[in-house]
């Protein structure tokens, strides 16, 4: 079938050819690390076509040249990458992973000094639901004990990060939040929406990070790194590079939580796997059996 994208003027774009698909596929992976499998070819064609219609560009090659050329190309690329990167998320998406994190927080109350801030990193946070889920659990466990915590959410898309910073969501998103947390952390907003309370939003910050440039990102000394449903979009060798970077950012005793089955043959000398069939998680080893001695 010859799929075409029709302009409002009545003209249409031709189907993305094999050569053009490979060209755009390579550009996306080169710049973001994300693979665009052939099964998502229609998605790519539709996304390109919608943006080309908006700027009145009628040819894939012409648009490619526009994207890769000069300062204006960089601006256009930032707009396009918002359309091409995966942004599916929801509050408390993986109950098993959240339960693991909650248990870690409860145990960490005794394991870390009272004046130590619990630092958490939501990698590939999209529009913020994951980061705010961590923040709600932390406020329940650590905040109720007078302890401090902070969440950093990172994503490549400036569009979703803007949503995350606003902390306002449609009413349908509220369904995924536990009722107790709804009562404590959700505030009614205009147009049937709700927003997260100031107590949650003020402890959560969001910034743009390209997963290919993690080595340049200064975030360190994390107690929890939550990287779920992100690695599946990268090649296996790149997943290992990303995980090695994340492992180095954990404090001794900190945990790294990734999606179940996202990688099966990776080992890092800094980490020990947390045994369990419902999630994939690792804990940062201690160089000394006495944690307090190590942390001095």
The CB-side HSE value for 273 (13 A sphere, CA atoms) comes to 12
Cα distance between residue 173 and residue 159, in whole Å: 18
Closest of 73, 72, 75, 45 to residue 60, by C-alpha: 45
pLDDT above 70 covers what percent of the chain? 92
Q: What is the mean pLDDT of the chain?
A: 89
261-290, pLDDT tens digit by residue?
A: 888 889 999 999 987 777 899 999 987 444
191-241, pLDDT tens digit by residue?
A: 889 999 999 999 999 999 999 999 999 999 999 999 998 898 899 999 999
Query: Which CATH number is correct for 95-295, 3.40.50.20, 3.40.50.150, 3.80.10.10, 3.40.50.300?
Result: 3.40.50.150
Token pair recorded at residue 264: 């099966």
Q: pTM (2 decimals)? A: 0.86
CATH number of 5-84: 1.10.155.10
pLDDT of the residue at 12: 66
Domain ranges of the chain: 5-84, 95-295
Q: For Cα atoms 216, 221, 226, give the angle at the middle one, nearest 5 degrees.
A: 80
Give start and end residues of each alpha helix (H) in 112-257. 129-141, 158-166, 179-185, 198-201, 236-248
* Topology agreement, domain 5-84 and domain 95-295: no
What's the mean pLDDT in 28-50? Answer: 91
Task: Provide CB contacts within 8 A for 110, sequence distance 6+.
Answer: none
pLDDT of the residue at 86: 67
Q: Select the more confidently predicted residue: 279 or 126.
A: 126
């Amino acid at each position: 079938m010859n799929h075409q994208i029709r302009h409002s003027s009545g003209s249409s774009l031709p189907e993305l050819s094999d050569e053009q698909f490979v060209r755009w596929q390579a550009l996306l992976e080169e710049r973001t690390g994300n693979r665009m499998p052939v099964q998502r070819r229609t998605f790519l064609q539709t996304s390109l076509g919608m943006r080309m219609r908006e700027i009145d560009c009628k040819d894939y090659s012409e648009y490619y040249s526009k994207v890769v050329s000069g300062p204006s190309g960089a601006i256009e690329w930032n707009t396009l990458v918002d359309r091409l990167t995966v942004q599916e998320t929801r509050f408390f998406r993986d109950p098993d992973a959240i339960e693991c994190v909650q248990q870690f927080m409860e145990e960490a109350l005794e394991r870390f000094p009272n004046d130590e801030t619990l630092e958490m990193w939501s990698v590939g946070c999209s529009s913020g639901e994951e980061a705010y889920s961590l923040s709600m659990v932390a406020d329940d466990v650590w905040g109720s004990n007078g302890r401090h915590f902070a969440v950093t959410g990172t994503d490549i898309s400036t569009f979703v990060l803007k949503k995350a910073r606003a902390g306002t969501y449609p009413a349908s998103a509220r369904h995924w939040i536990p009722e107790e947390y709804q009562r404590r952390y959700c505030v009614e907003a205009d147009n049937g929406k709700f927003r997260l309370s100031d107590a949650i939003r003020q402890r959560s910050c969001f910034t743009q990070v390209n997963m290919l440039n993690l080595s340049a990102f200064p975030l360190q000394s994390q107690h929890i790194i939550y990287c779920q449903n992100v690695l599946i979009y990268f090649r296996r060798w790149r997943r290992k590079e990303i995980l090695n970077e994340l492992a180095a950012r954990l404090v001794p005793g900190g945990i790294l939580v990734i999606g179940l089955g996202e990688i099966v043959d990776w080992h890092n000398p800094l980490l020990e796997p947390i045994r369990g069939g419902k999630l994939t998680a690792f804990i940062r080893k201690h160089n000394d059996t006495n944690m307090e001695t190590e942390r001095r």
